[in-house]
Amino acid sequence: MTWPQDWQTNLTFFLRWGHFLAGITWIGMLYFFNLVNVNFQKQLDPATKGKVNPILMPSALWWFRWGAVFTLLTGFIYYVIILGTEESGHRPLMWFFIGWLLAFVVIAGLLRMAVAGGFLKDGRVYGVIVAILVFVVAYFVGDMTRGMGASNRSISIAIGGGLGLVMFMNVWMIIWPLQKKIIAATKATAETGAAAPADMPKWARRAFLASRTNA
């Protein structure tokens, strides 16, 4: 067996493995937060949180968010390469972005409503609505790209990669900004005795729901 000599094969090889390894990092950290850290935080008193979280969370969130970047980047480049070999060309990208960016906007709005009270305060109701939304958008994107002549392979990437795009935006536009504020407030309380911001429970709840959405 010899190593492939053409650059295209080597590029897709490294893209697939880069996507795989970055995805392990990202999703591994996601499940650390959801399966380990949530219960761990409940057992810490405020003084201990003030010492532990300003050290633990920035490092964990660094791997979390940059794992998301490299997962999305390698996957998207691979998707573009695949589309370039098909009858549809790159036209399905339009519906990919329209469908999944709209899904993220709706999810972001639902998250704000969930922390404001009302029927969405129940996480189960929120979860059902998000599941229905994702199903509808996935069907829409799949149907539109199929109509353009996309193969089953690229349709699958359009749906799976679209979910990844929504998860990526959850990380960078909701979870990380909120966690930065929570970490800063926790550190200030520990160091100066400053009172926690009144909105801090809402920040934590919205970040938690966004993380559970990704999981």
Q: How confident is the model at residue 78 (pLDDT cuts 50, 70, 90)?
A: very high
Q: How confident is the model at residue 168 (pLDDT cuts 50, 70, 90)?
A: very high
Q: How far is CA 73 from the centre of its chain?
A: 13
Average pLDDT of span 119-141: 93
Nearest CA to 142 out of 124, 123, 129, 160 is that of 160
pLDDT tens by residue, 27-74: 999 999 999 998 998 898 888 888 889 899 999 999 999 999 999 999
Q: What is the predicted pLDDT for the residue at 7?
A: 77
Average pLDDT of span 193-206: 88
pLDDT tens by residue, 18-39: 999 999 999 999 999 999 998 9
Single pTM value for the model = 0.91
Query: Do residues 29 and 58 make contact, with C-beta atoms less than 8 angstroms apart?
Result: no
Name the residue with tokens 């960016």. Answer: 101
Whether 215 has a pLDDT exceeding 90, the answer reads no
